[in-house]
A and B are shown apart, each in its own frame.
Chain A
Amino acid sequence: MNDVLDVTLRLLIVFVVFLTFPLLVGQTEHKVMAHMQGRLGPMYAGGFHGWAQLVADGVKFAQKEDIVPAGADRRIFQLAPAVALLPYLLVLLAIPVGPGEGAVGQVVDAGIFFVLAVMGVGVLGSLMAGWASANKFSLLGGLRTAAQLLAYELPMLLTAASVAMAAGTVSLPGILDAFEWWWLPWQIVGAIVFFVAGLAELQRPPFDMPVADSEIIFGAYTEYTGLRFALFLLAEYAGIVVLCGLTTVLFLGGWHGPWDDDGLGWVWTLLKTAVLAFIVIWLRVTYPRLREDQLQKLSWTLLVPLSLAQIALTGVVKVVIR
């Protein structure tokens, strides 16, 4: 009975995190973007600095009519948002927030492979949406999504493999147990490549070619309205949480901090994740969108060689210190 309670509690916590953290990131994005652009952002909803803006948005989305275009492939069109969103919920299960087995939803033996594999599945949602909408802009968006995924999955995998080599394990808690502070300069190139490739996989600016609202009208999501559209947006923000959490765990030492790792471990994890999420928002405000060919060129001529060099460096250092 205790096991059942334990599992239920863990699932419940992960689910609550899944529902609240993306909204927190979204609200922060509203405010940070506004202040970086000399505006105030939402100020009225909820009273204090518009804290309830996203709740109000959610109510608005729920009221909207749910339209499926006449020429669309009905079932796939309706299924796509779930396929886009659910993988991130599964990934959250495997991300450790503190030391020990109590601070992770589920210990997965091949954790790195699990998170990267499941994150890749999420992109299928965009592809399905792009195809099933029976809209040329959506199809273009879907195509760009696929091309982008194929280009950026490789550097992500290679840099994650570099960390796995350094730690000698592919389990996420295992990597954190093996972490030393000097891994930070050692793996810094890999960290940057991983983060950039992750941004591209999430289709966040400056890599938002597949959704480019001013060119192809939000790409794969053009035909979506109401709650289904909101689910796609939620998937994007859940993706930010997952990517920042993963970068924290793989490259920034997760729950390791300057002091009191055991007691304050989860605070360090959340703090690092929050700083990374802020950087994601910051990049959106500062950089213009890359063109499709620039985007491919960045991946194949810069990120892939850099990640290969990182793997070579990791291997050499690993042999030298053994």
Chain B
Amino acid sequence: MSLAADTPGFLSPTGVEITFVLVGLVTFGAALVTVTTRQLVHAALWLVVALGGLAVEYLLLTAEFIAWVQVLIYVGSVVVLLLFGLMLTRAPIGRSPDADSGNRWAALAVAVASAGTLIWVVVDAFRTTWIDLDGPAAGSTKATGQSLFQNWVLPFEGLSVLLLAALVGAIVLSRKAKETDPAAGPDPAAPHSGEQGEKETR
């Protein structure tokens, strides 16, 4: 028992490790279905399964805070936004064969390349890192916050600036759309003025 604890290996997996692999397989399967299914809304819902599976993996790695933030932002907001966009534009029940892109082989190549890079980097960086599941949680909110704001402040701030730029960009884009169509005021229930505005700009 003590020997196994000293040099952890892959030959005698613990329950948590087996669960980790199983959840990983489910997540991978859900991700595959997400990109291969021919039903648009089903793709969004399989994405929920994939993202939720990732959250469970975080939980198994004791990173509780990251897991809940994952659910909150990705499942709770990003997927809802995705579904909202689908429903607003087109979300037919049943298959939509015209939704297949001609770029799928290029997309596959990019996906495989980036997945390969990520796997290589992660495996190379954490090959000898083992999480002690019995000790204090290594990924508790306190530990995460401390490492984030002590060791990783610069990337954190960089990301903040990136997000701010995206926010400003979104505002600029939506403002421009308004200027080209001056007759369409803030009242969305006035389609006539919008049509007139279009004619005038033409």
Contact = CB atoms under 8 A, between A and B. Distances in A.
Interface of A: 71-73, 76, 108-110, 113-114, 116-118, 120-121, 123-124, 127-128, 130-132, 134, 139, 142-143, 146-147, 149-150, 153, 157, 169-171, 293
20 contacts: A73-B94, A108-B64, A109-B140, A113-B72, A117-B68, A117-B71, A117-B72, A120-B72, A120-B80, A124-B80, A130-B87, A131-B41, A131-B83, A131-B87, A132-B93, A143-B84, A143-B87, A146-B83, A149-B76, A150-B81
B75 interface: yes
B26 interface: no
Interface in B73-101: 75-77, 79-81, 83-84, 87-88, 91, 93-94
Contacts, number: 88
A121 B71 contact: yes
Contact of B68 (A76, A110, A139): A110
A219 to B, nearest CB: 12
B102 interface: no
A150 B80 contact: yes
Contacts of A120: 71-72, 75-77, 80
Given A73-B93, A109-B140, A149-B80, A116 B75 contact: no
B105 to A, nearest CB: 30
A118 B79 CA distance: 14
Which of A124, A157, A293 has most chain B Cβ within 10 Å? A124
B174 to A, nearest CB: 13
A34 B32 CA distance: 53
Interface of B: 41-42, 45, 48, 64-65, 68-69, 71-72, 75-77, 79-81, 83-84, 87-88, 91, 93-94, 137, 140-141, 188
Contacts of B42: 76
Contacts of A118: 71
Given A71-B93, A117-B72, A120-B77, A110 B65 contact: yes
B72 A116 contact: yes
Q: Which of A72, A143, A146, A153 has the most CB of B within 10 A?
A: A146
B77 A150 contact: yes
Given A127-B83, A139-B87, A150-B81, A76 B45 contact: yes
A71 B94 CA distance: 9
Contact of B137 (A109, A127, A147, A153): A109
Contacts of B77: 120, 150, 153
B93 A150 contact: no
A78 to B, nearest CB: 13
Contacts of B69: 110, 113, 117
B71 A146 contact: no
Contacts of B45: 76, 128
Given A72-B93, A110-B68, A128-B45, A117 B75 contact: yes
A110 B75 CA distance: 17
A121 B87 contact: no
A146 B72 contact: no
Contact of A127 (B71, B80, B94, B140): B80
A19 to B, nearest CB: 25
A293 B93 contact: no
B191 to A, nearest CB: 15
Nearest to B139: A109
Given A117-B71, A127-B87, 4 more contacts: A76-B45, A108-B64, A127-B80, A149-B76
A139 B83 CA distance: 11
A116 B140 CA distance: 18
A164 to B, nearest CB: 10
B117 to A, nearest CB: 30
B93 A110 contact: no
A116 B72 CA distance: 7
A146 B68 contact: no
Nearest to A130: B87
Contacts of B41: 73, 76, 131
Nearest to B140: A109
Contacts of A149: 76, 80
A109 B64 contact: yes
B176 to A, nearest CB: 20
Given A71-B93, A117-B68, A117-B71, A109 B84 contact: no
